[in-house]
Amino acid sequence: MPRILFFALGLIGLVALPHALSFSQQEILVFLVINVLLVASYRLLTLTGEWSLGHVVIMGVGAYASALFSKNLGIYVPFAMLLGGMTSALLAVLLSFPLFRMKGFYFLIGSFAAGEIIRLLWKRFRDPFGGAKGIKGIEPMPDFSIGVYEFDFFEPISYYYMSGAVVVFCLWILWRIERSPVGLTFHAVHWQDKLAEASGVNLRAYRTLAFSIASGFAGLSGALLAHYVGTINPNSFDVEVMVFVLTWAIVGGTATFYGPILGCVVLTILNEIVLRELGFEQMRPLIYGAIMILSILFMPKGLESIVQRLTRRTPVAAPREKVAE
Amino acid sequence: MLDLLAQTSLNAVYAASYISLIAVGLVLIFGVMGVINFAHGELFMLGAYAVVALYADMQLPFLMAVAAGLLFVGLLGLVMERTLFRPLKDNPLGGLVASIGLLMILQALAVLGFGVRMEHVPPVTQEVIAFSDKVRLPLARLYVIVAAVLLLTGLWYFLKRTRFGWALRASAQDPEAAALQGISITQTARIAMFIGAALAGVAGALTAPLVSVNPHMGHSVIVTAFIVIIVGGVGSLEGAVIASVVYAFVHTFVTTLYDGVIADIVGLSLMLLVLIVRPTGLFGSADRA
């Protein structure tokens, strides 16, 4: 019962939040919501023990696909977004054939190579990808009304509510997946692969499943981004963005569901409120790099370990860690 | 047609020379430390900026600037070993994450120190060796090739003929057994980091007058180096050199025939293909993977 209360309060807080912020902060809030979905989907992939460097490019695949579906084929934007996510998931299934012949470090490098190839293809082929300049004038989300609230998507608040609802729903699905037998099998694939295989688990199939689900949600987050900013290009999805995602996951920690989200939220707040307001814009990569090094050196288990220590009574995370080790 | 072939081959040999310096350093660090140094491209960039500062701005002799770049980046390698890679030895993702963090710091420092704009480095020499009307080799490029050959020969001699080299290869092969023989793993790690970093730095310093020096030049360098070490087999120094030559020829010829982006795609596809078909690389042995 207290948990329901906790979630209800959180929800009210999230609904009220944008009204306390300035216009530019509201815009940042939209990006934050989209990035939360991205980093949460990244965690699903890391459950099976594989760290990809191509996740942001997969997000870009969703963005490009959704933009092209709505622009060239005239598909209604919400459907185009879903199709964008599906395109990413399908591409992940295709990529899994070469990539899952590799493990660990080789997978990392292989996913990086695959991502760079996709990015270079966008850059090279002006038709339909628009070359280095990318796609401009992407269809905005059509306005609609649900009676109590008029969605006007030129306002970041409206886009925040819409994408926020989508992201919360997606997080719920990701959470359900993780707690399901399938999710537990992902853990087994990571920590006890030999044992799992001996018990009849098809490792390759489960890795592919995790990869394609994660990619589908990443693609959806890309589609949300594309229809918000209205213009995307190959550099919107380059390695630097991937490094940010990696930083969020590392700083937050990946042992719990909320770890990477925590990392994303904390670092974004630090970044936007502290650094931008104080005028350290140029120092941003420097500070991010320092945070990355310091947290891997002195806080290798991430921010979540601090939260766990503070809340002690961790009914959700504690038994799962036992399974993990 | 023959002219084109000869000219492109010359370009490829030049590219192979500095790529192999970078890749060999990366392989050396990986072999001894077990860390993939993502900041390797930035070490190259720092070497180039050493030449910008000392040769272009302070008008010191070019060779002195190159030597300073080598020493400076090599020492930075020692600092990296002490502060990052040694404490993170037991964390499988640690070295990777730390080197990515370092990459961002070094890039930002270069932006703060020199600005994002491209630096102009005056050429060391304008002379050109003309084999025929269309086949020409700028003397500056020949210097880079000669320097690379000398450095790599020196490294080969050091690794195969000296006691330090023996110790280094032993601890790359089997750290525990090497330690049991009285080899200091920390000592060999230091030597490997110094040499590996210095090679990247000297490559950057040597090529500074020939390429566009900017804070983000490390990106394409590290991508190239990854392709080369994967194709050559992670952990194989000879493989890295051979793969550098192969990659340089493929890339240069595709660039000449089509364009640079297609050449990059071909290079990355080559790496993916090797990863799929023979993940240990063309020259790596199976047990190292």
Instruction: Give A256-306 as a DSSP string.
Output: SSHHHHHHHHHHHHIIIIIIIHHT-GGGHHHHHHHHHHHHHHH-TT-HHHH
B-chain residues within 8 Å CB-CB of A121? 265
B-chain residues within 8 Å CB-CB of A109? 226, 230, 271, 275
Please write the tens of the pLDDT for every residue from A197-255: 888 888 888 999 999 999 999 999 999 999 999 899 998 898 888 888 988 898 888 88
For residue B289, pLDDT beyond 50: no
For residue A12, pLDDT beyond 90: no
Q: Are A39 and A260 in contact, with CB atoms under 8 Å apart? A: yes
Contacts of B177-186 with C-beta under 8 Å, sequence gap 24+, read B186/B86
Nearest chain A Cα distance for residue B131, angstroms: 35
Position B193 in a domain: yes
Give the nearest chain B residue to A294 (CA atoms): B98
Over range A97-110, report the average pLDDT. 85
A106 touches chain B (CB under 8 A): yes
Over range A111-139, report the average pLDDT. 89
Position B176 in a domain: yes
> Residue B117's CB: how many other CB atoms inside 10 A?
11
From the list B98, B100, B275, the residue facing A102 with the nearest CB is B275
Nearest chain B Cα distance for residue A88, angstroms: 20
Comparing A150-154, A161-165, B41-45, B102-106, which segment has the lowest mean pLDDT? A150-154
pLDDT at res. B169:
86
pLDDT at res. B205:
94
Q: What global pTM score does this model have?
A: 0.85
Over range B60-89, report the average pLDDT. 93
Strand partners for A144 = A151
Identity of the residue numbered B272: L
Q: How many domains does chain B have?
A: 1
Over range A60-70, report the average pLDDT. 94
From the list B102, B103, B268, the residue facing A116 with the nearest CB is B268
Contacts of B5-12 with C-beta under 8 Å, sequence gap 24+, read B6/B131, B6/B135, B7/B134, B7/B135, B7/B136, B8/B252, B8/B253, B8/B256, B9/B249, B10/B135, B10/B137, B10/B141, B11/B252, B11/B256, B12/B245, B12/B248, B12/B249, B12/B251, B12/B252, B12/B253
pLDDT at res. B120:
83
In total, chain B counts a number of residues equal to: 289
Position B14 in a domain: yes
Distance CA A275, CA A111 (A): 32
Residue A276 CA to chain centroid, in angstroms? 23
Please write the tens of the pLDDT for every residue from A250-271: 888 888 889 899 999 988 888 8
Please give the share of chain A, as a percent, with pLDDT higher than 90.
34
Over range A17-46, report the average pLDDT. 89
Distance CA A275, CA B261 (A): 36
Q: Which residue reads 């051979």 in tokens?
A: B242
Distance CA B157, CA B134 (A): 37
DSSP-based three-state secondary structure for A60 = helix
A267 versus A281: which is more confidently predicted?
Answer: A267
Please write the tens of the pLDDT for every residue from B214-229: 998 998 899 899 899 8
Mean pLDDT of chain B: 88
pLDDT at res. A20:
81
From the list B87, B97, B223, the residue facing A250 with the nearest CB is B97
- The DSSP bridge pattern shows strands A150-151 and B136-138 to be unpaired
Distance CA A196, CA A187 (A): 10
For residue B98, pLDDT beyond 60: yes
A110/B111 CB distance under 8 A: no
Q: Are B218 and B103 in contact, with CB atoms under 8 Å apart? A: yes
Position B264 in a domain: no
A120/B268 CB distance under 8 A: yes
Q: What is the dihedral of CA A12, A13, A16, A21, to 10 degrees?
A: -170
Determine which of A56, A57, A120 to mutate to test the interface with B (most B C-beta atoms within 10 Å): A120
A262 versus A18: which is more confidently predicted?
Answer: A262
B226/A102 CB distance under 8 A: no
Please write the tens of the pLDDT for every residue from B72-86: 999 999 999 999 998
Position B260 in a domain: no
Please give the share of chain B, as a percent, with pLDDT higher than 90.
46
The pLDDT confidence band at residue B285, using thresholds 50, 70 and 90, is: low
Domain that holds residue B37: 7-215
Determine which of B100, B223, B255, B276 to mutate to test the interface with A (most A C-beta atoms within 10 Å): B100
pLDDT at res. B284:
65
Burial of B218 (0-12, 13-18, 19+ CB in 10 A): buried
Give the nearest chain A residue to B234 (CA atoms): A106
